[in-house]
């Protein structure tokens, strides 16, 4: 009996062993098959003609007749030898992208683990685990296959790449292939595009800038609106290089102090600030590789004739304001019913030189050509008041409710808050209609405090589309005078709630996207919702278009008056004249204008009615005459 049991156990163990051997061999053969199958057609990486032909993405205006921009219509590439690349550039690249480049076999398991831990700690994706070899394979050899197949091919081809070529060759392949944005492929083209110099002439600071661009070439473009974040990435990289003993203390200090001057790119680009916004939106949604290779046709909301006129008017307005120490302006034009952005001017001139000449764009310029001010938070001054008055009307008050315009301390004796009206006068009892039309400060604070309520006003402003990210208590009563930062694009859209008699439609920049075979990939849908009672919106419009009501402060013949059209409008100014606004609308268009200086330098005696309103009026005259 025992003998039979032993024989049985031996038989079972033998079967398990044979099954193990069979499964192991099967797994080995399967892995070999996968490796051979996916690596058999691996092209030589230095032969760029072996890659699939990339189809450019073309961005049009709303008519489809005007090309605004073509993404990577051609690759600007000049090959260079690794010997021409400065050591500090290679050090910066390896520190930022692949610290174990010379130790791993193409897949860096330590790097993957380190990235996973960092991403878990941050609660979001802040680092990737891809090696330089993987990045090269992904950008130069792979096609747009499904994710799982693509990832398998990436791993297999990366291992085969590392088996076939020395590390120095792989690094050279990568440096001649990687995109840096603005159609620049490879380090030599990037050096010429951004700095007008050859690779071996790059300084440490310039090298750190180019390496910082690599993870997201459009988002961190030196010609885009995130130059300040690019500068922060550069500084972090330089400090990391110092902490890893890649550079000396003196080199770090010199690089941090170096003034970076970007060569002005003259690429074919219309509606530039708007295009940079759309490009970033597309890349975020579809990924850079699809956008650059699959030949999308993107039809935007831009009315090109309006865009050209808006650019001309803004440029002329800034020239006229120079005597008031105001060197920049921005404009956004929106159809309030569809939400379509018809024109967007982010600065006085995208292709101009900064002012003054020695400033760092995005950081300390009075005029920064690349930054899209329409997407930047600025204090709106009195342009915020209509939303507080609308909240008071929502609570049952009307334009004929009265408040006292008199000197008032809204704080405490030890911590006073005593706002003043712009003209320094007090008018006694005034109606809400006159108070809003004349933009009186003291009554407006009372409206917020006693009739509208701080929390309700903030909640409503958010419903209308403003991204007020602080708590109501942090803003306090100065909110009604424009103490909370908002974006011109958001404010212009929010005024659209008045124009549509209470309906909110999110701003839209893209109408339709098709592939190269004209199949629709995406088409806009209008999503309007009522966020304000119609009678309240109508009352705000009535007040803001009442020239007689505002005349005691603004005069009967101010730039705000259109005697033969119903045009509602509100201006805004901030303390020390750092910002000046003018936002106005008819039943079918909203136009918002901001003027000032990027670095918050004060203008000279420049309220909204004198520096922003003339720009706004010029565009409104053009629109109403067509």
Q: In the sheet where 184-185 sits, what is the strand order?
A: 76-77, 184-185, 179-181
pLDDT top residue among 274 and 17: 274
Residue that the structure tokens 């099967």 belong to: 26
- Long-range Cβ contacts of 465-470 (<8 Å, 24+ apart): 465/490, 465/493, 465/494, 465/504, 465/506, 465/507, 466/387, 466/490, 466/491, 466/494
User: Per residue in 244-302, pLDDT tens?
Assistant: 999 999 999 999 999 888 876 555 689 999 999 999 999 889 987 788 778 899 999 99
> Helix and strand tally (H, E) in the chain?
23, 19
Q: How many CA atoms lie within 13 A of 123 on its CB side?
A: 0
> How much is the pLDDT for 433?
98
User: Per residue in 510-523, pLDDT tens?
Assistant: 999 999 888 999 99
Reduced to 3 states (helix: H, G, I; strand: E, B; else coil), residue 141 is coil
Confirm or reject CATH 1.10.3810.10 for domain 57-113+165-300, answering yes or no. Answer: yes
Q: How many CA atoms lie within 13 A of 250 on its CB side?
A: 0
Q: Is it the case that residue 408 has pLDDT exceeding 90?
A: yes
Whether the Cβ atoms of residue 592 and residue 332 lie closer than 8 Å to each other = yes
Q: Is it the case that residue 547 has pLDDT exceeding 50?
A: yes
57-113+165-300 and 308-381+390-396+486-624, same CATH topology: no
Q: State the average pLDDT over residues 555-568.
A: 96
Residue 339: which region, alpha, beta or left (left: phi > 0; alpha: psi -120 to 50)? left
Q: State the average pLDDT over residues 326-354.
A: 94
Q: Is it the case that residue 196 has pLDDT exceeding 90?
A: no
Q: How many Å apart are CA 44 and CA 63, to the nearest integer?
A: 43
Q: How many Å apart are CA 212 and CA 459, to the nearest integer?
A: 38
Please return the burial class of 567, using the count of CB atoms within 10 Å of its CB with bins 0-12, 13-18 and 19+: buried
Q: For the chain, what are the domain ranges?
A: 57-113+165-300, 308-381+390-396+486-624
pLDDT top residue among 121 and 558: 558
User: Per residue in 444-482, pLDDT tens?
Assistant: 999 999 999 999 999 999 999 999 999 999 999 999 999
Q: State the average pLDDT over residues 35-43.
A: 54
> How much is the pLDDT for 625?
94
Whether the Cβ atoms of residue 347 and residue 330 lie closer than 8 Å to each other = yes
What is the sign, positive or negative, of the torsion defined by CA atoms of 176, 177, 178, 183? positive
E strands in 375-457: 377-378, 402-405, 428-431
Q: Lowest mean pLDDT: which of 48-52, 259-263, 355-359?
A: 48-52
Q: How many Å apart are CA 622 and CA 544, to the nearest integer?
A: 20
Beta carbons within 8 Å of 165's beta carbon, 6+ residues apart: 45, 173
In this structure, CATH architecture of domain 308-381+390-396+486-624:
3-Layer(aba) Sandwich (3.40)
Q: Is the peptide bond before 54 cis (omega within 30 degrees of 0)?
A: no
Average pLDDT over all residues of the chain: 86
Q: Is it the case that residue 49 has pLDDT exceeding 50?
A: no
Residue that the structure tokens 């500084």 belong to: 235
Confidence of residue 28 (pLDDT cuts 50, 70, 90): very low
Q: Is it the case that residue 549 has pLDDT exceeding 50?
A: yes
pLDDT top residue among 294 and 203: 203
Reduced to 3 states (helix: H, G, I; strand: E, B; else coil), residue 473 is helix
Confidence of residue 9 (pLDDT cuts 50, 70, 90): low
> How much is the pLDDT for 517?
85
Q: Is it the case that residue 146 has pLDDT exceeding 50?
A: no
Tokens of 212: 């910082």
> How much is the pLDDT for 53?
47
Whether the Cβ atoms of residue 360 and residue 344 lie closer than 8 Å to each other = no
> How much is the pLDDT for 396?
97
> How much is the pLDDT for 46?
45
> How much is the pLDDT for 57?
86
Q: Lowest mean pLDDT: which of 22-26, 362-366, 491-495, 614-618?
A: 22-26
User: Per residue in 119-137, pLDDT tens?
Assistant: 455 454 445 568 888 888 8
Whether the Cβ atoms of residue 333 and residue 344 lie closer than 8 Å to each other = yes
Q: State the average pLDDT over residues 355-382.
A: 79
Confidence of residue 59 (pLDDT cuts 50, 70, 90): very high
> How much is the pLDDT for 262?
84
> How much is the pLDDT for 2?
54
pLDDT top residue among 490 and 32: 490
Q: How many Å apart are CA 169 and CA 101, to the nearest integer?
A: 12
């Amino acid at each position: 009996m025992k003998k039979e049991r032993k024989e049985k156990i031996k038989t079972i163990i033998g079967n398990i062993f044979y099954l193990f051997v069979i499964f192991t061999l099967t797994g080995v053969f399967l892995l070999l098959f996968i490796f051979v199958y996916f690596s058999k057609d691996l092209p030589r990486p230095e032969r760029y003609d072996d890659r699939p032909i990339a189809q450019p993405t073309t961005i049009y205006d709303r008519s489809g007749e005007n090309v605004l921009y073509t993404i990577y219509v051609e690759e600007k590439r000049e090959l260079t030898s690794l010997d021409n690349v400065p050591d500090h550039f290679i050090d910066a690249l390896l520190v930022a992208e692949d610290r174990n480049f010379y130790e791993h076999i193409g897949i860096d398991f330590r790097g993957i683990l380190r990235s996973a831990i960092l991403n878990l700690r941050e609660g979001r994706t802040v680092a990737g685990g891809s090696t330089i070899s993987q990045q090269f394979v992904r950008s130069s050899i792979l096609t747009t296959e499904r994710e799982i197949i693509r990832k398998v091919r990436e791993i297999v081809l990366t291992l085969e790449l590392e088996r076939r070529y020395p590390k120095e060759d792989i690094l050279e392949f990568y440096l001649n292939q990687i995109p840096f944005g603005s159609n620049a492929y490879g380090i030599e083209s990037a050096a010429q595009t951004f700095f007008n110099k050859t690779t071996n002439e790059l300084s440490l600071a310039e090298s750190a800038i180019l390496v910082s661009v690599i993870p997201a070439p459009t988002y961190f473009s030196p010609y885009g609106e995130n130059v300040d974040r690019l500068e922060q990435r550069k500084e972090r990289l330089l400090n990391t290089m110092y902490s890893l003993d890649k550079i000396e203390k003196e080199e770090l200090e010199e690089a941090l102090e170096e003034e970076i001057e970007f060569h002005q790119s003259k690429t074919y680009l219309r509606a530039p600030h708007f295009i940079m916004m759309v490009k970033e939106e597309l890349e975020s949604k579809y990924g850079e590789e699809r956008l650059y290779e699959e030949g999308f046709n993107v039809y935007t909301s831009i009315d090109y004739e309006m865009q050209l006129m808006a650019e001309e008017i803004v440029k002329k307005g800034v020239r006229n304001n120079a005597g008031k120490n105001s060197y920049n302006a921005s404009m956004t034009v929106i159809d309030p019913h569809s939400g379509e952005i018809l024109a967007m001017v982010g600065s006085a001139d995208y292709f101009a030189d900064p002012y003054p000449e020695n400033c760092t764009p995005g950081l300390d310029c009075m005029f920064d050509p690349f930054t899209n001010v329409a997407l930047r938070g600025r204090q709106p001054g009195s342009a915020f008041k209509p939303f507080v008055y609308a909240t008071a009307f929502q609570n049952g008050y009307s334009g004929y409710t009265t408040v006292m315009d008199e000197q008032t301390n809204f704080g405490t004796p030890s911590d006073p808050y005593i706002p003043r009206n712009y003209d320094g006068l007090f008018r006694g009892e005034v109606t809400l209609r006159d108070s809003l039309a004349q933009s009186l400060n003291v009554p407006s604070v009372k409206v917020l405090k006693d009739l509208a309520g701080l929390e309700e006003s903030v909640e409503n402003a958010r419903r209308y589309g403003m991204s007020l990210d602080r708590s109501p208590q942090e803003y306090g009563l100065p909110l009604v005078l424009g103490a909370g930062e908002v974006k011109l694009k958001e404010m212009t859209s929010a005024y659209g709630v008045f124009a549509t008699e209470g309906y909110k439609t999110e701003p839209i920049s893209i109408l339709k996207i098709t592939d190269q075979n004209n199949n629709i990939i995406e088409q806009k849908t209008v999503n309007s919702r009522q966020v304000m009672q119609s009678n309240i919106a109508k009352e705000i419009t009535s007040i803001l278009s009442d020239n007689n009501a505002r005349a005691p402060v603004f005069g009967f013949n101010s730039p705000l008056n259109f005697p033969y059209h119903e045009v509602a409008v509100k201006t805004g100014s901030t303390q020390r004249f750092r910002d000046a606004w003018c936002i106005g609308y008819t039943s079918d268009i909203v136009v918002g204008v901001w003027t000032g200086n990027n670095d918050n330098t004060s203008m000279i005696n420049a309220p909204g009615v004198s520096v922003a309103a003339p720009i706004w009026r010029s565009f409104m005259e053009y629109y109403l005459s067509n």
